[in-house]
Amino acid sequence: MAPAVPADLRIPRRLAGARPSISFEFMPPRSDEGEAQLWDAVRRLERLRPDFVSVTYGAGGSTQDRTVRVTERIARETTMTPIGHLTCVGASVAQLRKVIGQYAAAGVRDILALRGDPPGDVSGDWVAHPEGLRHADELVALVRTLGDFTVGVAAFPDVHPRSQGFDQDVEVLVRKADAGAEFAITQMVFDPATYARLRDAVAARRELPITPGLMPITNLRQIRRMSELMGTPIPAGIVERLEAAGDDPGAVRAAGVEIATELAQQLLDEGAPGIHFITMNRSTAALEVYGNLSLAETAV
């Protein structure tokens, strides 16, 4: 079994550092070509010495085995600290314990505990495994009973699509913190005001650092689809700026990098503990945004 990560290197300590944290999110590859693209992005972004990285599950909890394998490889073959993704989707408690054990064996001691989306149709009804868990706070509690893990959770500044409203989202985050969560990462943010509203409402009740997720837009059609799936509206002003670039992919990408840079700086100015870049396994746009930010000047 790999040695545990020292407490001073765990995610909450990094989020409390003197400089804003920087982190990246990858997806498990679906092919050999995708695998090569992923590792090219990993190696390029490793040079920035990010505070942590994560590898998502596919839609509806698919790709779990590949997610675990890639996370283990990052832990063993790079200098970066990976967060192990874990969802309740289609898994019994026994199966969840097994995945947690795999992460622990690779030295992964930071877990992102998520309920996850329904398999097949992310907008369909959620049905728990008959021997599994129903909510993320239950998963947080399970992980905390199984060893020396630091647990993070998801947050939804624009309100979870299944939520009854903002107040319920705040209550859910509070319950996750009460279960043992020590940090949160949001879905992609397009409006710093929605992030600040959620952060401040939670901070009034619990100490839980919330890092905003940010995705540089390089393809308007792709981001619209993702926005629909997550229930995260894209502000009209952002859509107008991207549409103004027309059908020129280079112009759309340049506008997306510019918008992401502005949003990231606004979020940092608002007091966000860092930025979590959603990379889609491509490094160049995230690298450009990072280079445009003032935090690039303070990185050590």
- The residues carrying an active-site annotation are 25
According to DSSP, residue 59 is labeled G
Helix (H, G, I), strand (E, B) or coil at 266: helix
CB atoms within 10 A of CB 17: 11
Q: How far apart are CA 109 and CA 2, in angstroms?
A: 10
Residue in 121, 135, 11, 127 with CA at minimum distance from that of residue 59? 121
d(CA 266, CA 195): 11
Q: What's the rounded Cα separation, in Å, for the pair 294 and 148?
A: 35
Burial of 72 (0-12, 13-18, 19+ CB in 10 A): buried
Tokens of 123: 């907008």
CB atoms within 10 A of CB 248: 10
Cα 121 to Cα 115: distance, rounded to the nearest angstrom: 15
How many CA within 13 A on the CB side of residue 218? 14
Taking the C-alpha atoms of 165, 260, 286 and 111 in order, what is their torsion angle to the nearest 10 degrees? -20
Between CA 46 and CA 140 the distance in angstroms is 28
* Angle 226-232-233 from CA coordinates, rounded to 5°: 105
3-state secondary structure at position 2? coil
